[in-house]
Amino acid sequence: MSPAERAWEQRTLEPTLAKSPDRNSDFTTVSSYPIRRLYTQADLEGWNPDTELGAPGAPPYTRGIHPAMYRDRLWTMRQFAGFGSANDTNRRFRYLLSQGQTGLSVAFDLPTLMGYDSDDPLAEGEVGRCGVAISSLADMEALFDQIPLADVTTSMTINSPAAPIWAMYLAVAEKQGADWQKISGTLQNDILKEYIAQKEYIYPPEPSMRMVTDTIEFGAKHTPRFNPISISGYHIREAGSTAIQELAFTLRDGIEYVEHCLGRGMQVDDFAPRLSFFFNAHNDFFEEIAKYRAARRIWCSVMRERFGATNPRSWALRFHSQTAGCSLTAQQPYNNVVRTAVQALAAVLGGTQSLHTNSLDEAWALPTEAAATIALRTQQIIAYESGVTNTADPLGGSYFVEALTNEVERGAWDYIERIDALGGMVASIERGFPQREIADAAYRYQVAVDQKQKIVVGVNDYLMDGKQIETLEIDGSVGDRQADRLRKLRADRSNAEVERRLTSLRHAAAGTDNLMPHLIEAVKAYATLGEICSALRQPFGVYQEVAIT
Amino acid sequence: MPDKKIRVLIAKPGLDGHDRGAKVIARALRDAGMEVIYTGLRQTPEMIASAAIQEDVDVIGLSILSGAHNTICARLMELLRAKGMTDVTVLIGGIIPEADIADLKKSGIAEIFLPGTTTQAIVEFIRQRVAVA
């Protein structure tokens, strides 16, 4: 502390505190990370702005990955949508595009996410409820009817069955005459965070990592503008992790994927530029901004120093962000518009490449069209009215933001080193390490809310009685309609051809071939997602987790 | 002699994997002195009913966020009745539209805890309910 600061503390601060003490004994972020009273130059001792901050568009990318940031191009406004049948969702997609949305993002229903057809007994009651039901190429064709895949970029939130779903997308693109070399979009395809947090897994880690590696390898050759993976912290955070855990586990997952690709014999600069990331945008404004800035700095170092990447495009961490679903309250739902706006602003000030803003009604249901429109308008207001897009990294150089960025970075490196010491992420998952860290953090947070150490407006303070708002009703007949479609599909296709393709897929899975070409042939023969995933269950086995409570 | 511990089965039915709530509740009830058995993910109503019998529980807590509650609960309550387990208290925690609550309660669900409920409220509900039974 400088003499001037000490003098300020004695002469100005202490008399004030004597009269009016702090509201709390300690001040922490939503992740319970301690925040000091004041940040000054003393918090940045030894910090070198030339090497640790740099310039926008230049390593270590703390200030963002583009030299002009949002002055030349805004982030992609990409609203996640999907419900009911492919036709229902196709209508919502075309509405969102007509309202100024600039990219598509597909939400699949739970049976699809788990690799079951809509008519599987395990799908009962779940078809089209949490997303759109896609059981075959015929559904995928309906989903993108009148939407030219050559012109629109599409993100698909699908993980365990990512490879067959991507095969369907590529088949639709081909049928539309869109060039695979030019189409663009993102496949989530991040199986590690499924074992860690979201739990939509089918197969064990080893064959799952092989499928991920297959898609990255296939993409590097055939779809150079498509992101074959979106390494995701979002779900880790939603499961209750802290910001530092979200950052650390996500980046360590990224390292694991890179190692698998290198193990396949790929060169790092051939695939690393197309690795993309996905982070949560939670309530704690500065902690989130520090997280995004630290993410870029860590990844740049990982790429250059750990993996020896030489292409600057490999060094630059690109990310999508989504506002925090778990922060939305069922009570007083209109308050969620405000929460989402604050979270979205953090993502923008943190330099996001694309953004989804949640709708006010999502603590209750999938969003109505009206609620989804307000969510999109929130992004447009930040982009065009707030002025924060006029300059790159407006918070760069702030004592607090830079100090917090450093601290979040250090916290993440500590975790990365611990996971390295455990033998990597798959080994850590098998020992339950990240799962236990997240469960502990989630419980600590719940206790803090229950004891009102953390205030959630409308939930544990400022309560009000209110009626539930109108929510989106999912047509209950979607399951039956899907079952009819599947019956017709199985009657109309060549079942001999389907059997041939599934047999060749099974053989390939038992060997070492890249599965993508086999999957593309299978989906083109209208083999269903359930048939494909079930064909792979036999050589691959299924994963059972040891639940940690 | 201390009271017999209340035994609770926390179950996660359906295909959804979002287990944050189930795990937080399992830990909170355990911290409150109850014996908690967590089924893990993707339990069918059949699996839940037989686990409840096998573990001889006083309470079944279902965590459902996916919108599949009507299908799942109807089947589970039917199975419990068929197996004579009418004295077990069945609770739901999660996202349930208000419009569905009356029918769920009519089917025998004792209480539905919506987002924002404190763990303490659930602990107290279970203690009162099981003490009366």
* Whether residue A212 sits in one domain with residue A361: yes
The minimum CA-CA distance between A312 and chain B, rounded to whole Å, is: 37
Is the CB of B32 inside 8 Å of chain A's CB atoms? no
Mutate to test the interface with A, among B8, B15, B73, B98 (most CBs of A within 10 A): B15
Asked if residue B1 belongs to a domain, the reply is no
pLDDT digits (tens, 9 = 90+) for A341-357: 999 999 999 999 999 99
The minimum CA-CA distance between A240 and chain B, rounded to whole Å, is: 7
Instruction: Name the pLDDT band for A258 (thresholds 50, 70, 90).
Output: very high
A·B CB contacts under 8 A: 105
* Whether residue A377 sits in one domain with residue A234: yes
Residues within 8 A of B (CB atoms), A 493-532 only: none
Q: What is the CATH number of the domain that holds B71?
A: 3.40.50.280
Average pLDDT over residues B33-42: 96
- Mean pLDDT (chain A, rounded): 96
The minimum CA-CA distance between B63 and chain A, rounded to whole Å, is: 14
Binary contact (B116, A331; C-beta < 8 A):
yes
For A365, the closest of B97, B114, B118 (CB atoms) is: B97
The Cα–Cα gap between A375 and A105 comes to 14
The Cα–Cα gap between A270 and A447 comes to 47
Domain of residue B101, residue span: 7-132
Amino acid at A456: V
Residue A548 has pLDDT above 90, yes or no: no
For A443, the closest of B27, B67, B114 (CB atoms) is: B27
* Whether residue A512 sits in one domain with residue A368: no
Asked if residue A38 belongs to a domain, the reply is no
The Cα–Cα gap between A158 and A85 comes to 17
Output phi, psi for A315, to 5 deg. -80, -25
Supply the pLDDT for residue B45.
Answer: 96
Residues within 8 A of B (CB atoms), A 196-215 only: 198-201
Supply the pLDDT for residue A102.
Answer: 80
Asked if residue B47 belongs to a domain, the reply is yes
Q: What is the CATH number of the domain that holds A445?
A: 3.20.20.240
Which chain A residue shows the shortest CA-CA distance from B29? Answer: A549
* Whether residue A499 sits in one domain with residue A372: no
What is the count of structural domains for chain A?
2
The minimum CA-CA distance between A434 and chain B, rounded to whole Å, is: 14
Asked if residue A10 belongs to a domain, the reply is no
pLDDT digits (tens, 9 = 90+) for B80-115: 999 999 999 999 999 998 889 999 999 999 999 999
Is the CB of A128 inside 8 Å of chain B's CB atoms? no
The Cα–Cα gap between A230 and A189 comes to 7
Residues above pLDDT 90, as percent of chain A = 93
Is the CB of B97 inside 8 Å of chain A's CB atoms? yes
Output phi, psi for A357, to 5 deg. -105, 130
Contacts of B81 (CB under 8 A, 6+ apart): B108
Average pLDDT over residues A394-406: 98
Asked if residue B2 belongs to a domain, the reply is no
Binary contact (A123, B40; C-beta < 8 A):
no
How far, CA to CA in Å, does A212 sit from each of A66, A88, A216, A258, A271?
Answer: 28, 30, 6, 11, 12
Is the CB of B129 inside 8 Å of chain A's CB atoms? no
Is the CB of A451 inside 8 Å of chain B's CB atoms? no
pLDDT digits (tens, 9 = 90+) for A448-492: 999 999 999 999 999 999 877 899 888 889 999 999 999 999 999
Residue identified by tokens 């089209």 is A128
Binary contact (A545, B40; C-beta < 8 A):
yes
For A439, the closest of B23, B71, B116 (CB atoms) is: B23
Is the CB of B127 inside 8 Å of chain A's CB atoms? no
* Whether residue A510 sits in one domain with residue A370: no
Residues above pLDDT 70, as percent of chain B = 96
Residues within 8 A of B (CB atoms), A 406-445 only: 439, 442-443
* Whether residue A375 sits in one domain with residue A312: yes
Asked if residue B120 belongs to a domain, the reply is yes
Contacts of A442 (CB under 8 A, 6+ apart): A239, A240, A241, B20, B23, B24
Residue A9 has pLDDT above 60, yes or no: yes
The minimum CA-CA distance between B4 and chain A, rounded to whole Å, is: 22
pLDDT digits (tens, 9 = 90+) for B71-84: 999 999 999 999 99
Which chain A residue shows the shortest CA-CA distance from B45? Answer: A122
Q: Angle at which helices A529-540 and A205-222 pack, to 10 degrees?
A: 120
Which is it for strands A154-157 and A103-107: parallel, antiparallel or unpaired? parallel
Supply the pLDDT for residue A1.
Answer: 76
Supply the pLDDT for residue A473.
Answer: 86
Binary contact (B17, A198; C-beta < 8 A):
yes
pLDDT digits (tens, 9 = 90+) for A185-226: 999 999 999 999 999 999 999 999 999 999 999 999 999 999
Asked if residue B105 belongs to a domain, the reply is yes
Contacts of A315 (CB under 8 A, 6+ apart): A59, A60, A61, A299, A300, A303, A304, A309
Rounding to the nearest 10 degrees, give the CA dihedral for residues A425, B19, A161, A500: 110
Asked if residue A483 belongs to a domain, the reply is yes
For A549, the closest of B27, B118, B120 (CB atoms) is: B27
Instruction: Name the pLDDT band for B3 (thresholds 50, 70, 90).
Output: low
Mutate to test the interface with B, among A126, A160, A195, A549 (most CBs of B within 10 A): A549
3-state secondary structure (DSSP) of residue B9: strand
β partners of residue B11: B62
Residue A270 has pLDDT above 80, yes or no: yes
For B15, the closest of A114, A194, A468 (CB atoms) is: A114
Supply the pLDDT for residue B133.
Answer: 59
ipTM of the complex: 0.94
Domain of residue A263, residue span: 49-82+134-450
Asked if residue A114 belongs to a domain, the reply is no
Asked if residue A240 belongs to a domain, the reply is yes
What is the count of structural domains for chain B?
1
Residues within 8 A of B (CB atoms), A 467-486 only: 468, 471, 474
pLDDT digits (tens, 9 = 90+) for A105-147: 999 999 999 999 999 999 998 999 999 999 999 999 999 999 9
Residue identified by tokens 């918070």 is A395
3-state secondary structure (DSSP) of residue A475: coil
Is the CB of B100 inside 8 Å of chain A's CB atoms? no
A436 and A430 Cβ atoms separated by less than 8 Å: no
Which is it for strands B59-64 and B35-38: parallel, antiparallel or unpaired? unpaired
For A450, the closest of B10, B19, B118 (CB atoms) is: B118
Instruction: Name the pLDDT band for A7 (thresholds 50, 70, 90).
Output: very high
Binary contact (B15, A446; C-beta < 8 A):
no
Which chain A residue shows the shortest CA-CA distance from B68? Answer: A125
Asked if residue A265 belongs to a domain, the reply is yes
Residue A104 has pLDDT above 80, yes or no: yes
Supply the pLDDT for residue B1.
Answer: 45
* Whether residue A157 sits in one domain with residue A72: yes
Asked if residue B23 belongs to a domain, the reply is yes
